[in-house]
Amino acid sequence: MDRRATLGMSFSELVMARIGHGVAALCLFFLLPILPFVAVAAAVSGLLRPDADRPEPAYRPDWAE
């Protein structure tokens, strides 16, 4: 049975699908090892971030007083 006829895809569409799968696999291969470090950095940043209920003083120009 012809797989292209079964899927209803041309040869170029199958090639592009394979390329897409390859790019996705490479992204996962390179990004998955980095994700734990990103998660730890986000957690530490959340802990060290100043409280939202005490905003920084706003800038007021001299002419506004």
Domain count across the chain: 1
Q: Does residue 10 form part of some domain?
A: yes
Q: How far apart, in whole angstroms, are the C-alpha atoms of residue 28 and residue 31?
A: 5
Q: Does residue 40 form part of some domain?
A: yes
Give the pLDDT confidence score for residue 48 in this predicted structure. Answer: 84
Structural domain that includes position 24: 3-47
Q: How far apart, in whole angstroms, are the C-alpha atoms of residue 54 and residue 56?
A: 7
Cβ-contact 5, 14 below 8 angstroms: no
What pTM does this model have? 0.46
Q: Does residue 42 form part of some domain?
A: yes
Q: Does residue 35 form part of some domain?
A: yes
pLDDT bin (cut points 50, 70, 90) of residue 21 is very high
Q: Does residue 64 form part of some domain?
A: no
